[in-house]
Amino acid sequence: MTYRIAVIPGDGTGPEQVREGLKVLEAVAQLEGFKYETVVYDFGGERYLRTGETLPDSAIEELKQFHAIYLGAIGHPDVKPGILEKGILLRLRFELDQYINLRPVKLYPGVETPLKDKGPEDIDFVVVRENTEGLYCGAGGFLRRGTKDEVALQISINTYKGVERCVRYAFEYCRKRNKKKKVTLCGKTNVLTYAFDLWERVFHAVGEEYPDITRDYAHVDAICMWMVKNPEWFDVIVTDNMFGDIITDLGAIIQGGLGIAAGANINPQGVSMFEPIGGSAPKYAGKNQINPLAAILALAMLLEHLGEERAAARIERAVQEVCSKHLKSLAAGRMGYTTSEVGDLVVRYLDLK
Ligand code: IPM
Ligand code: MN
Same domain, residue pair 119 and 189: yes
The reply to whether 4 falls in a domain is yes
Concerning whether 249 is annotated as a catalytic residue, the answer is: yes
Same domain, residue pair 14 and 91: yes
- Asked if pLDDT for residue 353 goes beyond 60, the answer is no
Does any ligand 1 atom lie closer than 6 A to the CB of residue 245?
Answer: yes
Q: Which of 255, 287, 305 is the last residue of a domain?
A: 255
Same domain, residue pair 148 and 54: no
Cβ-contact 65, 304 below 8 angstroms: no
Same domain, residue pair 218 and 292: no
Same domain, residue pair 242 and 268: no
The reply to whether 106 falls in a domain is no
| C-alpha dihedral sign at 202, 205, 206, 207 | positive
Report the nearest atom of ligand 1 relative to the CA of 86.
Answer: 7
* CA dist., res. 69 & res. 48, Å (int): 20
253-274 CB burial, b ≥16 within 10 A, e <16: bbbbbbbbbbbbbbbeeebbbb
Concerning whether 3 is annotated as a catalytic residue, the answer is: no
Domain count, the chain: 2
Pocket test for ligand 1, best of 54, 99, 245 (most atoms within 8 A of CB): 245
Whole-structure pTM value = 0.97
Same domain, residue pair 147 and 196: yes
Q: DSSP labels for 300-313? A: HHHHHHTT-HHHHH
The reply to whether 297 falls in a domain is yes
pLDDT band at 201 (very low <50, low <70, confident <90, very high): very high
Amino acid at 32: E
Same domain, residue pair 118 and 93: no
Give the tens place of pLDDT for each residue, 110-166.
999 999 999 999 999 999 999 999 999 999 999 999 999 999 999 999 999 999 999
- What's the average model confidence in pLDDT over 285-307? 98
The reply to whether 196 falls in a domain is yes
Q: Whose CA is nearest to atom 10 of ligand 1?
A: 245
Same domain, residue pair 245 and 193: yes
- pLDDT confidence of residue 273: 98
CA nearest to 266, candidates 156, 155, 127, 137: 127
The reply to whether 108 falls in a domain is no
pLDDT band at 243 (very low <50, low <70, confident <90, very high): very high
Same domain, residue pair 239 and 120: yes
pLDDT band at 352 (very low <50, low <70, confident <90, very high): confident
Q: Whose CA is nearest to atom 12 of ligand 1?
A: 245
275-306 CB burial, b ≥16 within 10 A, e <16: bbbbbbbbebbeebbbbbbbbbbbbbbbbbbb
Domain range holding 44? 1-101+261-353
Same domain, residue pair 127 and 223: yes
The reply to whether 200 falls in a domain is yes
* CA dist., res. 102 & res. 281, Å (int): 22
- pLDDT confidence of residue 264: 98
As separate numbers, helices (DSSP H) first and strands (DSSP E) second, the chain gives 12, 12
| Cβ atoms < 10 Å from Cβ of 161 | 10
Q: Which of 255, 274, 297 is the last residue of a domain?
A: 255
- Asked if pLDDT for residue 185 goes beyond 80, the answer is yes
* CA dist., res. 166 & res. 199, Å (int): 10
* CA dist., res. 52 & res. 182, Å (int): 47
Concerning whether 41 is annotated as a catalytic residue, the answer is: no
The reply to whether 344 falls in a domain is yes
Q: DSSP labels for 12-40? A: TTHHHHHHHHHHHHHHHHHHHT-EEEEEE
- What's the average model confidence in pLDDT over 64-77? 97
**Annotated active-site residue in 23, 108, 188, 235:** 188
The reply to whether 224 falls in a domain is yes
Q: Which of 233, 255, 277 is the last residue of a domain?
A: 255
Give the tens place of pLDDT for each residue, 260-287.
999 999 999 999 999 999 999 999 999 9
- In this structure, what CATH number is given to the domain that contains residue 348? 3.40.718.10
Ligand 2 center from residue 249 Cα (angstroms): 6
Same domain, residue pair 267 and 221: no
Same domain, residue pair 2 and 82: yes
